[in-house]
Structures are given as structure tokens and as C-alpha cells.
Chain A
């Protein structure tokens, strides 16, 4: 079967760094996506990885290891507005996105 695993919830402190992990098993691979979703709002695109390595975009970075079926999203200098759910999704061989259940990130002052 196809599945995406990520932690249900994480807590971090304002100003700190947090790493959200995602492991996947899919039929084929056409890239891994991270989306951010604030409560009651639409998911918004954060990052895309298709090759192994680290992609950096401001305070957010995303890492991919295809051989391990593993990715992480790294958030630096956490701000209260980063409190949200973070969704990991993988494009399979049919170019469908297979989604994880999301990680709810709680930022404390």
C-alpha cells in the first residue's frame, strides 16, 4: 500500500528550531511536497524536493533522501505565526499526491 507517516503534534518555543519528519512508501516517486495549513484556511505550498539534498527557502528548509524514503521540514527562528499544521505529500507514478495526516505545530512564547 501507499502511506505517509508524520508525527501528529509537536511543540516548540518561539525563536527556536524545529524539525518535522516525514517517511513515505509510495508506488513511484515524482517529488515530495510540504504544505502549511493554518486552522480554518487553505493549505499553502511551502516546498518541493525531487532530488536528494537540502532546499533552503528563507527560514524554512526541506530535506529529501529518496533511498530512505525520508524527508524533513526544518523551521528556524520560530515565530508565533508558524503555529499551523504541516502536510507532507508525495507524487506517485500516476502524478497523484499521496498525503500524510499532517503535523500540528504548537509554538509557545
Chain B
């Protein structure tokens, strides 16, 4: 596989469930991102990891918990979510130090919280 992959592509969960989203990049990048995309709203940056270290946490509720075991893998652990958390969750990666700062995105996980 090439590029940035995300699993699952679709997820339906109840408010009491615990689930995890997975992202994997095959580009040799060293920075990874989680974004939330809601309909007709700008992309919301949630977390940033550089060289496996978390460098940004944009006031995200603790019911979202990221994990970055190495520079190729990124997880988002979900627990006791709310219906308003339903959205498309996008993972992106970047080669830190690139002047253009271009981010490459995965296809996203469409999350529905019942």
C-alpha cells in the first residue's frame, strides 16, 4: 500500500462504547495529524505528533485519546462519545522540515455516534 491509510472507513458506535481509529502512513513522514471534519465547517485540528511526540492538543475533550507508537502509526481512542462527535475524522502526515509544509491525507473514518 502507498500513501496514508485509515481504518475503519465507517464506524457506528453507541455513547458507552470504546473504539479506536487507526492511521498508517507509508511515505516516510515524521509528523502526523488528526483532524475533525464536520459538514460545512473548516477542518478542526485535534492533535499533532512530531517524531512520535505530541506537540499540539487543541483543547480536545479527554474522551478523545491519541496514541503514536512510532512515526508510521497513529491511533485515536474513543470512549463515551457524544452525538455531536459524529463527523469525518481525517489523518494526515507531513515530512517535517519541508518548506511547503504539504500535508497528505488519508480517506478518513466516517464516525456516527448514536
Contacts and interface: CB of A to CB of B under 8 A. Distances in A.
Interface in B87-114: 90, 100-108, 110
A87 interface: yes
A101 B41 contact: yes
A93 interface: no
A48 B100 contact: yes
A33 B103 CA distance: 10
Interface string A38-54: 00111111001000000
A3 to B, nearest CB: 9
A8 B40 contact: yes
Contact of A42 (B41, B56, B90, B101): B90
B100 to A, nearest CB: 5
B107 A41 contact: yes
Size bracket of the A interface: 20 to 34
Contacts, number: 46
Contact of A91 (B48, B56, B101): B101
A23 B91 CA distance: 26
B81 to A, nearest CB: 22
A25 B45 CA distance: 17
Contacts of B102: 33, 45, 48
A46 to B, nearest CB: 10
A101 B45 contact: no
A42 B107 contact: yes
A4 interface: yes
A40 B107 CA distance: 7
24 contacts: A33-B101, A35-B105, A40-B110, A42-B4, A42-B90, A42-B107, A43-B90, A43-B105, A44-B105, A45-B102, A45-B104, A48-B100, A95-B101, A96-B45, A96-B56, A97-B43, A97-B45, A97-B101, A97-B103, A98-B42, A100-B42, A101-B40, A101-B41, A101-B42
Interface of B: 4, 40-43, 45, 48, 56, 90, 100-108, 110
